Structure 1
């Protein structure tokens, strides 16, 4: 009955058009009788909640009939916000004065307004569903009242309803308790307090909680992990596995890594290579529908920031029984590959194994061995591994050459290294360098990952693939226009291929423009995600790709371990489809969402720590490169990876005009500031709470 009323309501309101109908008239048209009233009201509420029907002072009307549309408030940033249209996810810019006090996550009705730019603009005309509306900020006290200054939400101070125990300057997580007609009229209550907003560690805790990331595990999850660790590995758990404990296998990771989930073996068979990638058999311990599995699914991934980690699995597993620690028997899931002298994958086999890592290798130490600069202590540690290490470099060089030959863009993604003191303060920021050993492991993981994806695809079973779709046409057009504005060569093409982007990057590889062009190409590409459809990976130029190698810290890897385990046990495809069809789809979508959340948290936490570091360097000069330009200033990046903004107000006096793309030009002097330009800047402000750094140009 409810569905019938939904159809009738929509039908009669469509006929009424922009004029709409008063409620009583619509009820009469729908022939609502006493016993049907509850069904009618339920249908009407659903339609209003979904933004299909809009209630106005003059009656009811279809939202689309008055040119309006339902949307979700995607984000708000001080003086403006963005909506995401329900249905097609089109993004709409909304000036702050037209937000009606809406908060991120709210479902609203909006309508178009004349746009001052190329994109679509709108205004909120009604809030139909209010979100929990949590945000972080700093406690202020003014004129006898406590307020919170949001970090990035709005410029207004928002009143706090209770003042018990509040300390001015503390970082807090709050939620709106009473809505006003504009943001400045809202009232909020404190959910959690973390200490001084001048400390990055306090700010990081608030960021994690805001995004629902919890360092602590529920008691039943911790208890289950402890039981597994205490049980250890029994003889009957080994007897049906391929025993590789006598094979030379070792791990290579960062010096501080505790969750070690991959190990390598390598030998020659004539001219061919026998590569083994041995991964912690996490799926053996984390069983479907267990408390551990439910928690791992919800988390989706481990979150790494500064010198800390919020793990996907409790430490008893992530650092204990699952971690491939040296000189300890460990259950593994091995991908055993035969690779030709030319680097072609000839065959692969997946086996449940038991291994015993000989050495806990460290990237920096292996790099010294490859450069032949190692000391006696390192020589002793890796005694017996030298031949394999140099063989690893030999094979990795071949695989890298093949990757470049496929046309894969060699994009660099700079990472920051944050040095945290014993007092929990960031005391240094530098560029994390990547040496040969990091590239070796990367190439070997790529081989195992594509083998797993190929195995899943060939057997036509439900699977979780790592996909990277072709870039959007409009983003490639923007890239071309920006390169042209910079006076840089642009390859001629109508349909972009990976090698086109590779050409753009390589032409600037050894120029001052490289960092900027590298970032421009990266931004022009689609974001990789998880999917049940094997559409391939644009950036790697691979038709088959998945994530198999990190089940301790990524749920999609754990997912396909579970599927692959049943495949090699000989479970029929029909049964696999029944068991994993829905599971794979849910895992792919949730893992993508969890990855986005984790990356957002990691970036925001890192920004707070960088700002904390810069508070000790106010007034100091730095060489910087302009990374992007806006109408209100430009962004710069220092050699140590710290990023910040130079506002027009902090630039030499002039009449600056923005070209809409890459430069600001002083109409009076002709002086321009353009993407890629080197500038000398002075740090003038560092906001730890907001994770922002401001610079001025040295004249």
Structure 2
């Protein structure tokens, strides 16, 4: 008699109207209950019966109920579901299809049906792309529609396909266009095949897009950088231009590269293979022996021929260890000059601009079936710096060149510190003994000077904490400074096979060479799309790496000793990066001491303090013990060998 009773429903509604309400995100627990996270770091208990109608991450409106000293939340209205389109795994329970969302904190199955059951045959364990069609808080029950198959349950590359689908990224290389690739006809393309160009890449690199030539001119170096020219084959109206525009970047996952352009174009037609004539865009620069890039550069369209393909390891062994390397005539002297150029360029930037801390690269060794075999740590060596410094100089030259011509282009922009954070930044700096005005901090020179001063002091913790005040980098049509790189203007054009923005800049530099006008390359929509694609790539690469890392550490014995750098300090504990693999781990505060309140976690200083003594700090390397690995959540937990204690030794 009480079910669906309109009088009771009316009475309940009147009671709820008089209760305080809040809005917040649902946070599920590993139990049947949950919490409502609200602004101001407030949290309210959600009882199990109500959690049945909610999913972790839902944004809801709830009424608050006092129960003694505890306040609980009762959901009233769904403001935004956490799931819309998502990736999930098929489970058949009592013959009925259910989908378990692929999410670390959603551990429930949802009833599902296929959008096309005749053609989409699903089996236990398959991975699918699905859409939430109804929500229990508004429709009294959950329902899901399966839209497409992502991977079969026995596919060895299922995890790679799941990650790309989850971030709405392409999995396969683009199809070669049915339209014939026609070379653009440019009468001003010069013949530079006689110059002994060389390339330095990884051993397995196929899309070689940059070649270098350098000569010693007594008081300066003449550095020439030749970049493969895909825009000579892909015009603005070509079908492949839309493909590149949609993808924006080549995706680099462990064991899998998803190119922006078709492989026959990226790895053959455009790739600067040795002994083959290739179309290129070339920049000639003058670099003073002090490392200063002179504002005297020349861009030209050219045909080049690489005389030799080299790899980072062999070149580094030659320069660092004087190991023999079979080189064609004229290349060894260039390598020695390029090494000296890179040293001087770094020294100049350390004194006048800014240089980020060098970190090793990490690579995953996988079998053909996607099984993890090993993880390799590869310290940055001299050959990496040689190529990197040449490319940074070329992009800075392009930024200055296009800016001088007052051309709109795809400029890489970083505006330094957030304007809204300047007051907090000033207090932070004053507390740590740095004296700057707000005006100085908002200039390129002031930003770089502060960075150099922090580095000179060896102030690792504050170097990390400063990043909290940084703006995000972005793309812009008009020339602006890139504070992070310490450049007054920066326009990347050295990776047009892998980056759509670089290909756009090729077209604009060509227009400048040919004295033609060009329109602004970026609409607001394209700029947002490029930034969003860059963000998706970053998260997909990290997620795939985290998956492999947990596989690796799950094979290690619990109790293994590990070295790690402290990357972040918060009240819950320490975020770490393991030195030998680059993996991320977590040291919970609860495993750092034998009792509560033994340690104080100072998030504003990055220090862990016991009494008057600083025990640990951001940027420090510590030894920890492997405690637990959760593959399903991609979590690696460690502990200290000896927790801190208030008890005297």
TM range (shorter): 0.7 to 0.9
Q: CA deviation at 1:166?
A: 3.9
Kept in 2: contact 1:139–1:148 (CA 8 A): yes
**92 and 503 in structure 1: CA distance in 2 versus 1, 3 angstrom threshold:** same
Q: CA deviation at 1:95?
A: 5.5
Q: Of 326, 350, 369, which residue of structure 2 is paired with 1:380?
A: 326
Q: Of 583, 586, 590, which residue of structure 2 is paired with 1:642?
A: 583
Q: Find the counterpart in structure 1 of residue 3 from structure 2.
A: none
1:519-574 CA-partner distances (Å, limit 9, x unpaired): 44445432222111212111222111111110000111111111121221122x4x
Q: CA deviation at 1:457?
A: 1.6
Single out whichever of 415-424 and 526-535 deviates more from structure 2.
Answer: 415-424
Q: Find the counterpart in structure 1 of residue 67 from structure 2.
A: none
**465 and 459 in structure 1: CA distance in 2 versus 1, 3 angstrom threshold:** same
Q: CA deviation at 1:449?
A: 0.9
Q: CA deviation at 1:150?
A: 4.2
C-alpha distance in 1 between matches for 2:384 and 2:346: 12
**109 and 686 in structure 1: CA distance in 2 versus 1, 3 angstrom threshold:** closer
User: TM-score scaled by structure 2?
Assistant: 0.79
Kept in 1: contact 2:198–2:213 (CA 8 A): yes
**103 and 289 in structure 1: CA distance in 2 versus 1, 3 angstrom threshold:** farther
Q: Of 194, 207, 214, which residue of structure 1 is paired with 2:170?
A: 214
Q: Find the counterpart in structure 1 of residue 309 from structure 2.
A: 360
Single out whichever of 625-634 and 615-624 deviates more from structure 2.
Answer: 625-634
Kept in 1: contact 2:213–2:224 (CA 8 A): yes
Q: Find the counterpart in structure 2 of residue 399 from structure 1.
A: 345
C-alpha distance in 1 between matches for 2:543 and 2:418: 27
Q: Find the counterpart in structure 1 of residue 641 from structure 2.
A: 698
Q: Find the counterpart in structure 2 of residue 175 from structure 1.
A: 131
C-alpha distance in 1 between matches for 2:78 and 2:503: 40
Q: Of 539, 554, 557, which residue of structure 2 is paired with 1:615?
A: 554
C-alpha distance in 1 between matches for 2:557 and 2:155: 15
1:578-613 CA-partner distances (Å, limit 9, x unpaired): xx2264655433222221111111111111111111
* Count of paired positions: 588
Q: Find the counterpart in structure 2 of residue 597 from structure 1.
A: 536
C-alpha distance in 1 between matches for 2:526 and 2:536: 15
C-alpha distance in 2 between matches for 1:359 and 1:451: 26
Q: CA deviation at 1:247?
A: 0.5
Single out whichever of 205-214 and 641-650 deviates more from structure 2.
Answer: 641-650
Q: Of 581, 592, 615, which residue of structure 1 is paired with 2:520?
A: 581
Q: CA deviation at 1:212?
A: 1.6
Structure with the larger helix share: 1
Q: Find the counterpart in structure 2 of residue 158 from structure 1.
A: 109
Q: CA deviation at 1:330?
A: 0.4
Question: Any gaps of 5 or more consecutive residues in structure 2?
Answer: 1-12, 15-19, 65-72, 115-120, 442-446, 643-649
1:224-248 CA-partner distances (Å, limit 9, x unpaired): 4xx43xx7x7xx9686421011111
Kept in 2: contact 1:618–1:685 (CA 8 A): no
Q: Find the counterpart in structure 2 of residue 133 from structure 1.
A: 84
C-alpha distance in 2 between matches for 1:276 and 1:481: 46
1:335-366 CA-partner distances (Å, limit 9, x unpaired): 12233334341411111100000111111111
C-alpha distance in 1 between matches for 2:487 and 2:383: 23
How big is the alpha-carbon RMSD for the aligned residues of Structure 1 and Structure 2?
Answer: 4.1
Kept in 2: contact 1:264–1:278 (CA 8 A): yes
**651 and 334 in structure 1: CA distance in 2 versus 1, 3 angstrom threshold:** same
C-alpha distance in 2 between matches for 1:678 and 1:67: 46
Q: 1:47-86 maps to which residues of 2 (within 5 A)?
A: none
Q: 1:415-430 maps to which residues of 2 (within 5 A)?
A: 415-430=361-376
C-alpha distance in 1 between matches for 2:28 and 2:191: 57
- Whether 2:277 is the aligned partner of 1:337: answer no
C-alpha distance in 2 between matches for 1:271 and 1:249: 22
C-alpha distance in 2 between matches for 1:92 and 1:413: 37
1:492-515 CA-partner distances (Å, limit 9, x unpaired): 32333222122223322xxxx84x
Q: Of 286, 292, 297, which residue of structure 1 is paired with 2:245?
A: 297
C-alpha distance in 2 between matches for 1:339 and 1:678: 38
- Whether 2:142 is the aligned partner of 1:192: answer no
Kept in 1: contact 2:163–2:543 (CA 8 A): yes
**407 and 129 in structure 1: CA distance in 2 versus 1, 3 angstrom threshold:** same
**505 and 215 in structure 1: CA distance in 2 versus 1, 3 angstrom threshold:** same
Kept in 1: contact 2:354–2:485 (CA 8 A): yes
Where 2:231 maps in the other structure, the secondary structure is helix
Q: CA deviation at 1:326?
A: 1.1
**570 and 444 in structure 1: CA distance in 2 versus 1, 3 angstrom threshold:** same
**94 and 395 in structure 1: CA distance in 2 versus 1, 3 angstrom threshold:** same
Kept in 2: contact 1:278–1:333 (CA 8 A): yes
C-alpha distance in 1 between matches for 2:549 and 2:586: 14
Q: Find the counterpart in structure 2 of residue 464 from structure 1.
A: 410
Q: Of 502, 511, 514, which residue of structure 1 is paired with 2:452?
A: 502
Q: 1:620-635 maps to which residues of 2 (within 5 A)?
A: 620-635=560-575
C-alpha distance in 2 between matches for 1:482 and 1:148: 49
C-alpha distance in 2 between matches for 1:197 and 1:653: 45
Q: Find the counterpart in structure 2 of residue 570 from structure 1.
A: 515
**372 and 182 in structure 1: CA distance in 2 versus 1, 3 angstrom threshold:** farther
C-alpha distance in 1 between matches for 2:199 and 2:636: 39
User: TM-score scaled by structure 1?
Assistant: 0.73
Where 1:539 maps in the other structure, the secondary structure is helix
Q: Find the counterpart in structure 1 of residue 495 from structure 2.
A: 550
C-alpha distance in 2 between matches for 1:412 and 1:674: 20
Kept in 2: contact 1:467–1:536 (CA 8 A): yes
C-alpha distance in 2 between matches for 1:546 and 1:591: 15
Where 1:617 maps in the other structure, the secondary structure is coil
Where 2:373 maps in the other structure, the secondary structure is strand
